[in-house]
Amino acid sequence: MNRIRKLMRRTTTLALISGLIGAGTLFTDTAVERARANTTPVDQNYALVWQDEFNGSEIDSSRWEYQTGPWGSSGVQNCYTKDSDNVSVGNGTLKITALHEPGTRCGGQVKDFTSGFLQTKNRHSWTYGYFEARVKLPTNGSSTWPAFWMSPEKSTYGSWPRSGEIDVFEAKGFDKKFIAANAHWGINDSKRRQQPGHAPVADVGQWHTYGVKWEPGKLEYYLDGKLFHTIDNFRSPNATSHPGPFNIPFYLRLNMAVGGTYLRPHSDANQSLDKLPAVMEVDHVRVWQKQQAPATKAPVRRLPIKQSSGSTVALTFGEECLNIAGGSSPYAPHRLGNDHVVRETVRLRINCDNQQPATGYTTRVTLKLTKLYPDTGRLRLATVVNRAVEEDLTGKVSYGTSADGKYTMATYHVTDGGFGDEDGRANGTILHSTAIYEG
């Protein structure tokens, strides 16, 4: 850093900025934006927060876990495995394949069929949002039961169906025009509540995008971006609560069962062995969530920042500092709502000749702010010297109230203890900029 200072004039820009940074990750891929426009029924208040495009060569274990073993209900006849013959990724898609494999040992049982099952359990779960998958289903497997669905991360209201289930789609291998959407809730299986709906689809063997928009008290089901089913009456004698149980985190599930009571009259896959293997192909899975917006949407207005008559601007840089001047910006933008944001700017122009060893410099700027502004703020100090990062500056801000109680007094303290006698002449501008958040 000292060598750099010898070679160039020193221009220091000091910025005190808010340390509040959003934790969500937004995806801006052009294809994703195109998908939003074509098939995703969400507006600009939603952001893509999770996705798998299956562009690799294997299952992403940071996104998915395998559900393995037998399925203990609904007459399902297959064993779910991790075998690449049943679950694989290649050529830009996920493939879940149902096979006839007689004598397969499966959790203490013997099964004649195998298939695949992925879920985001223990990886990712969400409360509310829009969830979609682009899928091409098999039409040759009469006894296959493919599904894209959601289950609660925790049994908050009790065992199934008390804590709910959201079925984005279910299909029947023997009917290429059948797609069902559903949700389950209630006290027990005999008093279970559900509201199935069916989509008008010409051929499930073609690529289609299946989605559900889940909001408080409502589930909306979509096929290729068009709404075809809504569930919004969770309140009933058999429901746990309203909008419960659909107000807790749920995770995603993708699977294809073989056999089962849902497939009547094709419940027994042994009657259609010639229909296997059958492949369920998935192009992508995406999750969108609504971003938090201010509770009150008010127009931006500009408010003056007044500099106190008793405010001080002091700069010390060795013993040779000249031409010290201070000032403040005449206006600060202010946005009403959950977050009250104030931005103020103070510029100090200096011309210092540092021919002797310096002990560092200190600036102190006190501004008189309108009472509307808060008395607290969290700041992070960022420093740049001629576009290079400077690391030897420290800073803080303190707040007080004017004697008449009408104003907030904000004082900024900035110190640089890293100057040395080799720094030479320094000319430049120190810029203080802060954002104060109230909420």
pLDDT per residue as tens digits for the range 122-170 = 999 999 999 999 999 999 888 999 999 999 999 888 888 889 999 999 9
Predicted confidence at residue 161, as pLDDT, reads: 87
Closest CA to 75 of 295, 326, 267: 267
| Burial class for 209, CB neighbours closer than 10 Å (0-12, 13-18, 19+) | buried
Question: What is the maximum span of the chain, computed from C-alpha positions, in angstroms?
Answer: 97
Query: Tokens 């007459």 map to which residue?
Result: 75
Predicted confidence at residue 251, as pLDDT, reads: 98
Known catalytic residues are: 165, 170
Domain borders along the chain are 36-290, 302-438
Q: How would you label 18-48 residue by residue, b for 16+ Cβ within 10 Å and e otherwise?
A: beeeeeeeeeeeeebeebbeebbbbeeebbb
Predicted confidence at residue 198, as pLDDT, reads: 81
Determine the 3-state secondary structure of 431 from DSSP: strand
Paired residues of 35 in beta bridges: none
Predicted confidence at residue 76, as pLDDT, reads: 96
Predicted confidence at residue 148, as pLDDT, reads: 99
What distance in Å separates the CA atoms of residue 50 and residue 61, rounded to the nearest whole number? 14
Predicted confidence at residue 189, as pLDDT, reads: 59
Topology of the domain covering 36-290:
Jelly Rolls (2.60.120)
CA atoms within 13 Å, Cβ hemisphere of 236: 17
Report the sign of the C-alpha dihedral through residues 55, 58, 61, 64, in that order.
Answer: positive
Cβ distance 368 to 311 under 8 Å?
Answer: yes
What distance in Å separates the CA atoms of residue 329 and residue 433, rounded to the nearest whole number? 10
Closest CA to 112 of 99, 121, 102, 122: 102
Cβ distance 15 to 431 under 8 Å?
Answer: yes
Cβ partners under 8 Å of residue 34, min gap 6: none
What distance in Å separates the CA atoms of residue 432 and residue 348, rounded to the nearest whole number? 9
Predicted confidence at residue 372, as pLDDT, reads: 36
What distance in Å separates the CA atoms of residue 186 and residue 245, rounded to the nearest whole number? 9
User: Which residue numbers in the chain have pLDDT < 70?
Assistant: 1-39, 188-192, 235-243, 293-439
